[in-house]
Amino acid sequence: NNVEVEVEDKKLEDYDIGKPLGRGKFGRVYLARTKKEHFFVALKTLFKEQLRKDNMAHQLRREIEIQFRLQHKNILRLYDYFDDEHRIFLVLEYAPRGELYEKLKKVGRFDDMKAATYIRQMIAALKFCHENNVIHRDIKPENILLGYHGELKISDFGWSVHAPSQRRNTMCGTIDYLPPEIVLRQRYDHNVDIWCLGVLTYEFLCGRPPFESADMQTTYDHITHVKFSYPNYVSDLAKDFISKLLIFKPENRMQLIEAEKHDWIKQFAITEDDVNYRCSNCGVA
């Protein structure tokens, strides 16, 4: 006899909707809670009409299939999705400590310990993406959220693709993070994320991205000539780490398995077991 497994499909009435958390690119995000389990989520609403107009339906489908499949502690989970007549709803993991971008703007720049601790988690997330043949392509502080313990969560897979690929959609937002091969519209692979890791590390330590300038053309030129300099407060180890990522030829960039063993990470990044060890020692935990 066939046992009917009743998998209850979640729908809007299963949630209490709370305050707006902010706007993603194509809709608003609300804090929400499941009525039954009182489980907090971030409910991202996207308007079908808007998606159709901006020809972004295929991009959303890719975001859903990628984020639904990639389950890692440093990648914001997509738990579920459903739709009604006018809207599509993504049930995302709620990151209680908000956007990393806000933290960076508030303090200006991070010291080696803070920056290396975040970059070590970013390396873990990117390694996992690349092992699953996914390139994120849009690594920047705006797309990073912070979990309950301040752990890093990359979100917004709207631009991620299966490697290797050729970008089709026009870019929106900043070009500061674009690697030369995308600026020059060449074929590219997972090494685009390695370049972005370099740009992200620089921005964590300096409070601004390395190629930033007043106008786009100058930024383009700085990127394609890898033209940037370090403020004098950047440590030698950090400079060595960044300069092995911001390399023009993708195949010459340091790979993630080398990056996680680099002295800058080894010396400055705090790992979970460091935290547990310290807590167990201070007698509080």
Ligand X SMILES: CC(=O)NC[C@@H]1CCN(c2c(Cl)cnc3[nH]c(-c4cn(C)nc4C)nc23)C1
Enumerate binding residues for ligand X (CB under 6 A). Answer: 21-22, 24, 29, 42, 44, 92, 94-96, 98-99, 143, 145, 155-156
Catalytic residue among 138, 156, 176, 193: 138
d(CA 169, CA 172) in angstroms, rounded, equals: 9
Residue 207: CB partners within 8 Å, gap ≥ 6?
A: 104, 108, 109
Between 21 and 139, whose beta carbon lies closer to ligand X? Answer: 21
Tokens representing 275? 């935290």
In sign, the C-alpha dihedral spanning 194, 217, 104, 135 is negative
Q: How far is the CB of 195 from ligand X (least distance, A)?
A: 20
d(CA 158, CA 137) in angstroms, rounded, equals: 9
Instruction: Determine how β-strand 28-34 pairs with β-strand 87-93.
Output: unpaired
Tokens representing 130? 């690349």
State the Cα angle at 154 between 30 and 225, rounded to 5°: 125
The answer to whether 182 touches 195, Cβ cutoff 8 Å, is: no
Between 153 and 244, whose beta carbon lies closer to ligand X? Answer: 153
Q: How far is the CB of 42 from ligand X (least distance, A)?
A: 3
Tokens representing 11? 């729908």
Between 144 and 247, whose beta carbon lies closer to ligand X? Answer: 144
3-class DSSP assignment, residue 161:
strand
Element (H, E) at 207: none
**Adjacency order of strands within the sheet including 40-47:** 15-23, 28-34, 40-47, 87-93, 78-83
Between 117 and 143, whose beta carbon lies closer to ligand X? Answer: 143
Q: How far is the CB of 101 from ligand X (least distance, A)?
A: 8
3-class DSSP assignment, residue 15:
strand
Q: How far is the CB of 23 from ligand X (least distance, A)?
A: 6
Between 66 and 145, whose beta carbon lies closer to ligand X? Answer: 145
Q: Is residue 138 annotated as a catalytic residue, yes or no?
A: yes
Q: How far is the CB of 228 from ligand X (least distance, A)?
A: 25
Residues designated catalytic = 138
